[in-house]
């Protein structure tokens, strides 16, 4: 790993830890797990951004990836991943593959990752990028993520990386009892609330609002 990348990663990790501390009053999470920090060190974010943004790859900021879409802000990626409480056995569904960065991070921490992207060009790009990088446990499909991935369900965790008007019921149905869902949901004002849902034994979803966030919209209908 070259010196520039190493320095960039360390600065980013310091920033992430500070952001966790500063938002703990709202999120209830004072720090990310050490395993998550180590996973962030291993995923080369500079390979998921456009050539033009290479110098910004380790900044704690969302960046454009074309097609009107973005690679999310590292703090939000880290927070959402932390909320999923993954183990090496977890089966995870992601809606909104985008660049594939979040999928790679999930691939570092979980057993199997299924990720759906509605823009076919982005799906193809992320898929070949992840393949090249050796993420054999990450499966990418082009399509409407609102329908989930029924053949691979049930999942231990579902993460939606685009904002929905409400929680899509199909995605809840594909969660096992005890499973976790993390999704930005429109507040009615500008922006969204990041919502954590835990599915109960009765099939219902217990939710809590974690933090205000800003995401691109989840497109399409069920
Ligand atoms: N997780 C991504 C960032 C995602 S940006 C990363 O790490 O880079 C949100 C993505 O969701 C965009 O790529 C957008 O095209 C996709 N998206 C929006 N609506 C969708 C839908 N209904 N199904 C699947 N993907 C969708």
The pLDDT of residue 4 is: 85
Within a domain: residue 85?
yes
User: What's the mean pLDDT in 101-127?
Assistant: 98
| Burial label, 120 (beta-carbon count in 10 A; 0-12, 13-18, 19+) | exposed
| Domain range for 99 | 64-213
Asked if the structure places residue 50 within a domain, the reply is: no
Catalytic-residue membership of 72 = yes
User: What digits encode the pLDDT tens for the residues 122-166?
Assistant: 999 999 999 999 999 999 999 999 999 999 999 999 999 999 999
**Is residue 24 within 6 Å of ligand 1 at its C-beta?**
no
Mutate to test the pocket of ligand 1, among 48, 62, 96 (most ligand atoms within 8 A of CB): 96
Residue 34 lies in a domain: no
Q: Which residue has the tokens 């380790």?
A: 58
Count of alpha carbons within 13 angstroms of residue 46, beta-carbon side: 15
Question: pTM of the entire structure?
Answer: 0.97
**Eight-state DSSP code of residue 159:** E
> What's the rounded Cα separation, in Å, for the pair 99 and 128?
11
Residue 1, pLDDT above cutoff 70: no
Residue bearing the bigger pLDDT, 192 or 2: 192
d(CA 77, ligand 1 centre) in Å = 13
pLDDT at 188: 81
Q: Does a structural domain hold residue 178?
A: yes
- Report how far residue 222's alpha carbon sits from residue 220's, in angstroms, rounded to the nearest whole number: 7
Structure tokens at 24: 């703990």
In a domain, 156, yes or no: yes
Domain count, the chain: 1
Is residue 157 included in any domain, yes or no? Answer: yes
To which residue do tokens 């399509």 refer? 143
Instruction: Let me know if residue 106 belongs to a domain.
Output: yes
Q: Given 26, 64, 72, 90, which residue is catalytic?
A: 72
Pocket of ligand 1, candidates 73, 117, 126, 144: which has the most ligand atoms within 8 Å of its Cβ, to mutate?
117
Q: Is 120 in the pocket of ligand 1 (CB under 6 A)?
A: no
pLDDT at 208 over 80: yes
Evaluate: CB of 118 within 6 angstroms of ligand 1: yes
Minimum mean pLDDT range among 1-5, 108-112, 133-137, 157-161: 1-5
Share of the chain above pLDDT 90, in %: 95
Tell me, in angstroms, the distance from the centre of ligand 1 to residue 219's CA: 9
Report whether 111 contacts 91 (CB < 8 A): yes
Residue 216 in contact with ligand 1 by CB distance below 6 A: yes
User: Is 117 a member of any domain?
Assistant: yes
Q: At 98, phi and psi to the nearest 5?
A: 55, -120
Closest Cα to atom 4, ligand 1: which residue? 98
The domain that contains 113 carries what CATH number?
A: 3.40.50.150
- 184 within ligand 1 shell (Cβ under 6 A): no
Pull the structure tokens for residue 22. 């500063």
Residues 6 or more apart in contact with residue 174 via CB below 8 angstroms: 93, 148, 149, 150, 153, 154, 155, 158
């Amino acid at each position: 790993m070259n010196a520039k990348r190493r320095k960039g990663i360390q600065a980013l990790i310091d920033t992430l830890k500070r952001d966790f501390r500063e938002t703990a009053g709202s999120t209830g999470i004072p720090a990310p797990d050490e395993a998550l920090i180590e996973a962030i060190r291993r995923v080369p974010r500079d390979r998921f951004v456009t050539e033009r943004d290479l110098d910004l790859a380790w900044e704690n900021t969302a960046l454009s990836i074309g097609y009107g879409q973005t690679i999310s802000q590292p703090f939000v990626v880290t927070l959402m991943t932390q909320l999923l409480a993954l183990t090496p056995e977890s089966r995870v569904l992601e809606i909104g593959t985008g660049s594939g960065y979040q999928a790679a991070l999930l691939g570092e921490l979980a057993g199997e990752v299924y990720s759906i992207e509605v823009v076919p060009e982005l799906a193809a790009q992320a898929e070949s990028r992840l393949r090249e990088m050796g993420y054999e446990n990450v499966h990418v499909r082009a399509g409407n993520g609102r329908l989930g991935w029924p053949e691979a369900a049930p999942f231990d965790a579902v993460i939606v990386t685009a904002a929905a008007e409400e929680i899509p019921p199909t995605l809840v149905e594909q969660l096992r009892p005890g499973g976790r869902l993390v999704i930005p949901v429109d507040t009615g004002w500008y922006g969204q609330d990041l919502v954590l849902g835990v599915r109960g034994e009765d099939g219902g979803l217990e939710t809590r609002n974690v933090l205000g966030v800003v995401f691109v919209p989840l497109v399409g209908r069920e």
